[in-house]
Chains A and B, each alone.
Chain A
Amino acid sequence: MRPWSLLLVALVALPLIVGVAGLPRHDAPDAPIHTHVGTRYLERGVAETGFKNMVTAVLLNYRGFDTFVEVVVIFTALAAVLALPRGETADPDHAPGQRAPADDATGAPEPGDDAVATAAVPATSGPRDGSDAGRAHEVVPVSPVVLFVVRILAPFLSMFALAMLFRGHITPGGGFQAAAVFGAVFIALGLVFGLGRVARLMPTGLQPWLQAAGPLAFVFVAWFGWRLTGFFLGFPIDDHTTQEGMGFVLEVAIGVGGGVILARLFLSMEA
């Protein structure tokens, strides 16, 4: 068995190494990426798109269709996860956090497991939290150091995500990065304070709309661009204000929608 696996590794690794060795140098001016469309983006990107950040210009304008499909892929991933059967804990009607008593047996760490297990189960949330009180005896409290750090960091991380979202047009960052940080804040809070408690922060009625914010905004902006220019997802070249406005709507939708989807993926593991 072992010689065969070594041979397999060699078969995979050899083409990879040959391929990497054949790549142009990192700063070579005549590398293919510098001789095709890249030059045009750099020379005329600002004039044509109105975005001051090249990454945003490529992402939303020149490669708008790719981003559209990316957003749909992320949304589809969440839909697929939510569609998975959940075994004996399946109870599609209950809201996240309102856990049924039957969940206790599966959610609790097994006796053989050690310290790790405690990190992933919801922490004791105090007597105010009715839904988690029933399983308090099984839950190991989160370390005060972790609790303190997450509490202190959460507002700063949220501000960082907002800054990336709203300044993404001139500085590195943008919708996808902001979404990742938003999602990380939610997950960190969920691990420390209990995922059920965090789930209640998100209004149930609004949730489907927030999850679908990315694709919906793209459809809307694409329709808007079609009315203006006659092309699906077309951007009016002469009107920078309109272009930036359309880009702003897309970035905010990607940021909010992506963040909610990431958080929901983790909440669905608990609830």
Chain B
Amino acid sequence: MSDVFDAVMLALLIATAVTVARARDLLAAVVIFSMYSLTLCLVWQHRGAPDVAMTEAAVGAGVTSVLFLITIARTTRQEKP
């Protein structure tokens, strides 16, 4: 069961990471990237590191996403080809 959870989470991590790298719409990339952080947060918690999980949720999913959102608002939403 534990290994299945890990496998699913790692697959999700890889999938979200690849999607972020391929996304042309930067807003979509930011949203998926915060999903990546939340998945990683679950992995930390599952691996017995609640301290790291809390930091990941607050900084990775929360603060960093807002930073990127402000940056997009100041620049443009579409990646230049």
Query: Are B77 and A172 interface neighbours, CB within 8 A?
Result: no
Shortest beta-carbon distance from A159 to chain B in Å: 14
Q: Is A214 an interface residue (CB 8 A)?
A: no
Q: Is A269 an interface residue (CB 8 A)?
A: yes
Interface residues on chain A, size class: 20 to 34
Would you list which residues of chain A between 95 and 135 have a CB under 8 Å from chain B? 109-110, 112-114, 116-121
CA of A191 to CA of B47, assembled, Å: 33
Query: Are B70 and A266 interface neighbours, CB within 8 A?
Result: yes
Neighbouring A residues of B55 by C-beta, 8 Å: 176-177, 180
Neighbouring A residues of B77 by C-beta, 8 Å: 113-114, 116
Contact of A164 among B27, B54, B69, B76 (CB under 8 A): B54
Query: Are A266 and B66 interface neighbours, CB within 8 A?
Result: yes
**Nearest residue, chain B, Cβ from A119:** B69
Given contacts A173-B51, A174-B51, A269-B70, contact A116 B58 (CB under 8 A): no
Given contacts A114-B77, A172-B50, A172-B51, contact A120 B69 (CB under 8 A): yes
Task: Digitize A160-173: 1 where CB-to-B-CB distance is under 8 Å, 0 elsewhere.
Answer: 00001000000011
Q: Could you pull out 16 A-B pairs where Cβ atoms are within 8 angstroms?
A: A110-B76, A112-B76, A113-B73, A116-B27, A116-B69, A117-B73, A120-B73, A164-B54, A173-B51, A174-B51, A180-B62, A181-B54, A183-B58, A184-B63, A187-B62, A191-B66
Besides A116-B73, A120-B72, 7 new A-B residue pairs in contact (Cβ under 8 A), listed by A number: A116-B77, A121-B73, A173-B54, A183-B58, A184-B58, A266-B67, A266-B70
